[in-house]
């Protein structure tokens, strides 16, 4: 399972890109606004693109097919490898169909059920983003929904890649990987949490202190 970082924060993306374990970035209008409500979206997206050099999903804000297609055209003119993020609404599906005919990658977002995921796959979505945290927020098991979708993908042999999105904690990453999601898009804070273990910290501290002891003993012998 690949890891993407789910943020529009430049410093976080710069650091995540350095880690070597992150291959893409997903953004949405809320993530962009959180960093800077007056942001020049095109400029910020191009900065992110330069930093990550891999997958970058950019979301449209129009809710009608024609508007979505026009926005997609604009985004592609900023950088041709862009993945166009489109909400799972009827107009969105029609836009996905059109873009897929032209070979433009799409990420169908705000997916909360297997039936929505099936519709997105049939429209030709390159990626389908299943929102885990927001399902758990309303007491629907995101694990069950994601498992159902992954099972359907296996049976039906759908080509769209499944992105586990709206990740809130490291357990979501584990559940997504076990279910068979292709990608988990993870907020920077959760990404960093997922790398930590108190045993790594204490183990490293012990290794370094033993190394220091060894050096001190060796120095004593050499000075004799």
Binding mask 18-57 for ligand E4P (x = CB under 6 A): --------x-x-----------------------------
133 binds ligand E4P (CB under 6 A): yes
6 binds ligand E4P (CB under 6 A): yes
Stretch binding ligand E4P (CB under 6 A), from 39-47, 130-138, 153-161, 190-198: 130-138
Output the furthest CA–CA distance in the chain (Å, rounded): 84
Indicate the angle between helix axes 188-195 and 10-19, nearest 10 degrees: 30
The verdict on whether 85 is a catalytic residue reads: yes
185 binds ligand E4P (CB under 6 A): yes
Instruction: Calculate ∠ Cα 173-81-18, nearest 5°.
Output: 50
7 binds ligand E4P (CB under 6 A): no
Q: Residue 207 class from Cβ within 10 Å (0-12 exposed, 13-18 middle, 19+ buried)?
A: exposed
DSSP string, 94-117: HHHHHHHHTT--EEEEEE-SHHHH
Residues annotated catalytic, as ranges: 85
Chain residues binding ligand E4P by CB under 6 A are: 6, 26, 28, 109, 129, 131, 133-134, 165-166, 185
């Amino acid at each position: 399972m690949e890891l993407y970082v789910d943020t529009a924060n430049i410093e976080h993306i710069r650091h995540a890109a350095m880690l070597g374990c992150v291959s893409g970035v997903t953004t949405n209008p809320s993530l962009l606004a959180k960093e800077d409500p007056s942001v020049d979206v095109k400029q910020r997206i191009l900065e992110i693109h330069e930093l990550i050099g891999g997958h970058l999903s950019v979301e449209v804000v129009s809710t009608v097919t024609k508007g979505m297609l026009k926005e997609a055209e604009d985004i592609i003119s900023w950088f041709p490898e862009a993945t166009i993020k489109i909400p799972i609404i009827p107009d969105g599906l029609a836009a996905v169909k059109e873009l897929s005919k032209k070979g433009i990658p799409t990420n169908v977002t705000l997916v909360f059920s297997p039936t929505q995921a099936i519709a997105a796959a049939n429209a030709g979505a390159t990626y389908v983003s299943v929102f885990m945290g927001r399902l758990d927020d309303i007491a629907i098991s995101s694990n069950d929904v994601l498992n159902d979708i992954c099972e359907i993908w296996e049976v039906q042999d759908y080509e769209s890649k499944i992105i586990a999105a709206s990740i809130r904690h490291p357990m979501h990453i584990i559940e997504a990987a076990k279910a068979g999601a292709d990608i988990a898009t993870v907020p920077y804070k959760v990404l960093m949490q997922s790398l930590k273990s108190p045993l790594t910290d204490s183990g490293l501290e012990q290794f370094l202190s033993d190394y220091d002891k060894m050096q001190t003993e060796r120095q004593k012998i050499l000075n004799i």
